[in-house]
Amino acid sequence: MQRRFTTQEALELILNNANPCDSDGEDINLQPNSDSDSELSSDDATAPHLEKRARLESEPTETAKEGTVWHEEHVGTILRFTPMEPYAADGEPTAKARRRIRSRLQSFLCFITVGMLRPIQEWTIQHARQTEQTDWFMILHELMAFISVIILRGVTKVPSLRDSWSACLGNPLITGIMSRNRFQDIMRHLRFDDMFTRSERVQTDKFAAISDVWGSFVTNCITCYNPGRHITIDEQLFPSKTRCCFLQYIATKPDKFGIKFWVACDLKTKYICNVLPYLGKDPSRPSEERLSESVVMKLMEPFMDKGRTVTTDNFFTSLTLARRLLSRKTTILGTVNKIRREIPQSTRKMDRKEFTTQVCCW
């Protein structure tokens, strides 16, 4: 007599490595039994199963130095849990940005708004009148022209500033926008904050010279674009030898000195989703929290709880961070430093064969 199994019973047999030859000679029929009370309905069959499958006693386990128990899986084994629903949309401008953008200028003003330009104009005039001429002035459109020259100089690479206005090497657009002397005059006086209150503000904000304008720019970057599923996080050194207390020296970088930024970018478009300057030790960060974890959580905060994946290098990746991100419906992909105490000892072996894979889970 042929034995009939329900869908649930058949799945349990397969997952527990059941052998069809142990069924007393009866054929195993995997077709569902419509008369069985234990059969799942069509709605239940498609619903995600959130409970983890029980582990087999024979599965190899390994305990890391800090106490995490790891279970080694065979490549291709069915997951013990249903993965979270990934973020499905590609990166795109937000509805707010789409409504505002009708030209290249409006696209620029989404990030550097007129409300940001007016304080820059005010503080630049203030500095010029305090240091040189009392009648020095600059209109708003002249400030925008100055910024356009900076952008064009980034597009057209020349050996020096003077060469940007050269008849042979220079860009004709730059020559037509502004004279070199006026450009250098504005550059010399350019300021982003009130020079009379900076000494007070710098006591609590090391980035006081630019923090107001910088904060508005970062907010605009976040609110004008919805990144896709994959976001990458890394550091970037902005070359500079200016005198400040948070200047960094990184020997492995092409430019050794500079200001370091933590940057989160959309993988496909390379759009800057969020960015933080590194200003040294942060007194607000809990002593037990790693700097790397704090950086990732801050950068990813506007994009959590959506099913996104963040990619990091071995400076950031850790088991603690993975758990924190997972609690916010976010996954992590990255290399891991072999000195991490939470990883299994077997993963540190250097004699592993090429193109082999080891899968461990906790």
233-290 pLDDT, tens per residue? 999 999 998 888 899 998 988 889 999 999 999 999 999 999 999 999 888 899 889 9
- Pairwise CA distance, residues 324 & 318, whole Å: 10
Question: Which DSSP category does 115 fall into?
Answer: H
Residue type, 177: I
pLDDT at 12: 66
Determine the Cα angle at 23 with ends 18 and 25, to 5°.
140
pLDDT tens figures, 175-222: 999 999 999 999 999 999 999 999 999 999 999 999 999 999 999 999
Q: What tens-digit pLDDT sequence spans the chain (362 residues)?
A: 556 666 666 656 655 644 444 444 444 443 444 443 433 333 443 334 444 444 544 567 888 888 889 888 887 777 677 778 899 999 999 999 999 999 999 999 999 999 999 999 999 999 999 998 889 999 999 999 999 999 999 988 899 999 999 988 888 999 999 999 999 999 999 999 999 999 999 999 999 999 999 999 999 999 999 999 999 999 999 999 888 889 999 898 888 999 999 999 999 999 999 999 999 988 889 988 999 999 999 999 999 999 999 999 999 999 999 999 999 999 999 999 988 989 888 888 888 888 888 888 88
Evaluate whether 193 touches 212 at the Cβ level (below 8 Å).
yes
Alpha helices in the chain (DSSP H): 7-15, 42-46, 95-100, 104-109, 114-131, 140-155, 172-177, 180-189, 198-201, 211-223, 291-300, 319-326
pLDDT at 11: 59
Strand order in the sheet with 69-73: 61-63, 69-73, 359-361
User: H or E stretch including 361?
Assistant: strand 359-361
93 φ, ψ to 5°? Answer: -65, 150
pLDDT at 335: 94
Strand partners of residue 4: 29
Measuring CA to CA, which residue among 279, 250, 249 is closest to residue 262? 279
Determine the Cα angle at 77 with ends 76 and 81, to 5°.
125
- Pairwise CA distance, residues 295 & 52, whole Å: 31
User: H or E stretch including 360?
Assistant: strand 359-361
Distances from the Cα of 110 to the Cα of 219, 223, 290, angstroms: 11, 9, 34
pLDDT at 310: 97
pLDDT at 10: 61
Per-residue DSSP letters for 236-277? EEEE-----TT-EE-TTSSS-EEEEEEEEEETTT--EEEEEE
pLDDT at 301: 96
Determine the Cα angle at 120 with ends 196 and 190, to 5°.
80
Cβ neighbours around 269 below 10 Å, total: 14
Question: Which DSSP category does 64 fall into?
Answer: -
Measuring CA to CA, which residue among 319, 314, 311, 361 is closest to residue 336? 314
CA atoms within 13 Å, Cβ hemisphere of 12: 7
Determine the Cα angle at 268 with ends 267 and 272, to 5°.
60
What 3-state DSSP class applies to 175? helix
- Pairwise CA distance, residues 251 & 314, whole Å: 18
Burial of 74 (0-12, 13-18, 19+ CB in 10 A): exposed
Burial of 60 (0-12, 13-18, 19+ CB in 10 A): exposed
pLDDT at 82: 72
pLDDT at 350: 83
Token pair 């959506």 is found at 306
Assigned token pair, 183: 């450009």
